[in-house]
Structure 1
Amino acid sequence: MHARSVIRQFRSAVGAVSAVVVASLLTVATTAGPARADLVPYVPWSSHLAGWTDEYIPSSDNDCVAGRSNCLNATLKEQSRIADDTASTCSHNAIFARAYVRMTQLYGYTRAMPGYYQDVSYFNHVDAVFARYYTDSYYNWQSGNRSAVPQSWLTALDAAKNKLVSGTGDLLLGMNAHINRDLPYVMAAVGLVAPDGSSRKVDYTAVEAWLYQATAPLIAEFAARFDPSIDDTADPHGISNAALFQMVSGWRENAWRNAEALVSAPSPQARALVAANIEAQANTVAQGILATQSYVPLLTSTVPRDTYCAAHKADAPPVAYAFGYATAWGYAY
């Protein structure tokens, strides 16, 4: 993967980016601010859900492992906790965190459409496992357990904490860590082939339609609440959105191929080589994003962004998602 070339092409085509690790909102709670009653020390959800496994097992007593529909609520609760906490403090981690909530809510919206997915239960499980890779990385990072956090996530989370990159950069760093790094491991773990021998890639690819559709309202929300510069190069014809979508689609295709390589590796040593390549690819892309999206001392600053967020973090998203307008805090499904 020629990471720096990809990032340069993306920057020139998209500039301040329209997002695509994204989604939409089914319905959201109508609270005036984030719910803060849940202040007990965090315990990763996967550690207190009896029987958790990344492998899809329809007969499991664990709702998420079995892919039962109510698993989505647990997933959204975990994601929304991070999204609300980061937004309430104007943390630069708020952008990717909120994007992920929207993505999961739109998955819930599309799974209710007859025929959208071939195996909804399977994809319910995929959704939960994928989310866990992010939430566990975030909370391990937050608690200082850095050895448990992949390098691409350390790069993304540290950059946000230290206010190194633009809102576009924060979004891209999170997307890179979750797609280029996490996604191959997730898909290899949940299984690429159905019991009848057919490929699961049809459902994997079906996600891309709503990823693209969610781009415009998501970028509008981020510009309204967190960083007004994130939509500076938006155009009325959707060219920027299309360019971003092509990049993310390419990342997702590469992730599937890397998952295939993990599954087909003939030995632990061969699998370790595949894993090392996955990590190296994600880390190279992360460095490319840092190189193109970092604030430049004396020329650009995070101060306008932070000042704007302090005044607007609770604003309602200004553009409707596929199912209507969203509110700023919480989630509902």
Structure 2
Amino acid sequence: MIPIRTVVPTAAEASALLGGLRRTADADAIVAEFAGDEPDAALLELVETPFASVADVDERLARTESYLRERGDRRAVFLTVYVRMTATVRDAIDDGAFVDAEWAAAYLVAFTERYRRALVAFERRAFGSLPRPWLLAFAAAARRETLVAQDALLGINAHIAYDLTYTLGDVGIDPDRGVKREDHDRINAILARLVQTAQDALVEAYDAAWIAGIDRLLDPFDDRVALLGLKTVREFAWRNAVLRADLPAWAGEPYVDWRTETVATGAAAVLLAPDIDADEHARMRDAEADASVERAFGEATRRRT
């Protein structure tokens, strides 16, 4: 029988759910805005087929990041961090850091596949299959009205606060649930280091450009990137996977879907409405463009990983 503590939200989860319910975004307006746009055929050629292996993830994700960056597409900002994350997990697999290396490799591919499917859905304007946290992240990048820091954090939020739950379902947490939990925690430790790297790279890029005020997006970073906080949201993903595995599908899946989307969408809404007034936000955007903060962020991230 599933423990009651797994079903009942923790205090942090309950707070996050309430916060998410208070913050909404007009998804219908976003869909209407982008529905008529033509897809990028060259981008789709890069990501149209599912990832087949860790090597395939490495190669095509890097090419996708380069393609978007060269076109000035702000979706490259998150990919700059994510390419480094996948490379770090790959190295850990090669170094024997995981108890079940085969499962860890499948986890990496499945996690990246969640991102690929979201990217393809947005590019094809297949909004019905696009998770709302990714809709908000991709739309913000396409509009270019957000700061580089916001683009990075919106992608991190969608991938960790939303995709992680479903990745665990894709690869399965049984049999040997205890071993898989250990390897999940090892991957989470890598995620935590990479998110910290992204934060440090953002601070470095903005400091070099003499742009003040970015601390209001990054401090406290956990509260901005996910209403649960980064450490708690990774535990949240595991608890969700346990619920989906142990409860009847008619009960577990709708409940997990609701709370995962509520938390991740609420966090995205927080990121899109930072504690910065409109005039200051516009000033920072102008300063970003003048100082090439996006390029500086990429260089700082690559240098730190």
Q: By how many angstroms is 1:175 displaced?
A: 1.6
Distance 1:145 1:317, change over 3 A: same
Select the residue among 275, 282, 286 that pairs with 2:268: 286
Structure 1 residues 253 and 270: alpha-carbon distance in aligned structure 2, compared to 1, 3 A threshold: closer
For 1:209, the aligned partner's letter is A
Tell me which of 97, 111, 126 is aligned to 1:145: 126
Residue 156 (structure 1) aligned with residue 160 (structure 2): no
Query: Are the structure 2 counterparts of residues 183 and 136 from structure 1 closer, same or farther at C-alpha, using a change threshold of 3 Å?
Result: same
Structure 1 residues without counterparts, runs of 5 or longer: 8-37, 50-63, 65-70, 323-333
**Cα gap change, 1:319/1:217 in structure 2, threshold over 3 Å: closer, same or farther?**
farther
- What is residue 187 of structure 2 aligned with on the other side? 207
- CA spacing shift, 1:157–1:92, aligned 2, 3 Å: same
Instruction: Please report how far the alpha carbon of residue 255 of structure 1 lies from its aligned counterpart in structure 2 after TM superposition.
Output: 0.9
Give the whole-Å Cα distance in 2 for the aligned partners of 1:217 and 1:127.
Answer: 19
Task: Give the equivalent residue in structure 2 for 1:328.
Answer: none
1:91-240 matches, cutoff 5 A: 91-114=73-96, 116-194=97-175, 196=176, 198-215=178-195, 217-219=197-199, 221-222=201-202, 223-224=204-205, 228=209, 229=211, 233=215
TM-score where L is the length of structure 2: 0.72
Structure 1's 180 and 312: CA in aligned 2 closer, same or farther, altered over 3 A?
A: closer
Say if 1:88 and 1:313, in contact at 8 Å, map to a contact too.
no
SS in 1 for 2:145: coil
What is the distance in 1 between the residues matched to 2:258 and 2:298?
A: 42
Query: Any gaps of 5 or more consecutive residues in structure 2?
Result: 1-12, 21-41
Q: Structure 1, residues 257-309: CA drift from partner, whole Å, max 9, x if none?
A: 1111111221335422321222222112221222226x743322222223333
Partner of 1:300: 281
In 2, the alpha carbon distance for the partners of 1:182 and 1:311 equals: 25
Tell me, yes or no, if the aligned pair for 2:47 and 2:116 is still in contact at 8 Å. Answer: no
Contact in 2 for aligned 1:217/1:320 (Cα 8 Å): no
1:175 is aligned with what amino acid?
A: I
Letter in 2 for 1:178: H
Higher relative contact order (CA 8 A, sep 6+): 1
Change (3 A) 1:96 1:314: closer
Q: Give the Cα separation in 2 of the matches to 1:159 and 1:153.
A: 10
Structure 2 residue 263 is the aligned partner of structure 1 residue 266: no
After TM superposition, give the deviation of residue 121 of structure 1 in Å. Answer: 1.0
Q: Distance in 1 between matches of 2:301 and 2:45?
A: 34
- Residue 190 of structure 2 aligns to which amino acid in structure 1? W
Q: Are 1:185 and 1:259, in contact at CA under 8 Å, matched by a contact in 2?
A: yes
Equivalent position to 2:238, from 235, 252, 256: 256
What is the one-letter code of the residue matched to 2:229? Answer: M
Change (3 A) 1:256 1:88: same
Q: 2:56 aligns with which of 52, 65, 74?
A: 74
What is the alpha-carbon distance in structure 1 between the residues aligned to residue 196 and residue 49 of structure 2?
32
Q: Aligned pairs, how many?
A: 263
More helix by share: 2
Cα RMSD after superposing both structures: 3.6
Q: How far 1:199 moved relative to its partner? A: 4.2
Query: In the alignment, does 2:84 pair up with 1:84?
Result: no
* Residues 167 and 230 in structure 1, CA contact (< 8 A), matched pair in contact too: no
DSSP 3-state at the match of 2:58? helix
Query: Residue 56 of structure 1 aligns with which residue?
Result: none
Q: TM-score, normalised by structure 1?
A: 0.66
Q: Which residue number corresponds to residue 26 of structure 1? A: none
Question: Is the alpha carbon distance of 1:230 and 1:153 closer, same or farther for their aligned partners in structure 2, counting shifts above 3 Å?
Answer: farther
User: Aligned residue for 2:48?
Assistant: 44
Deviations 1:169-215 (A, max 9, x none): 22221122111211111102211123x45441100101233334445
* Matched-pair identity in %: 20
Aligned residue type for 2:286:
V
Alpha-carbon spacing, 1:314–1:168, altered in 2? closer, same or farther (3 Å): closer
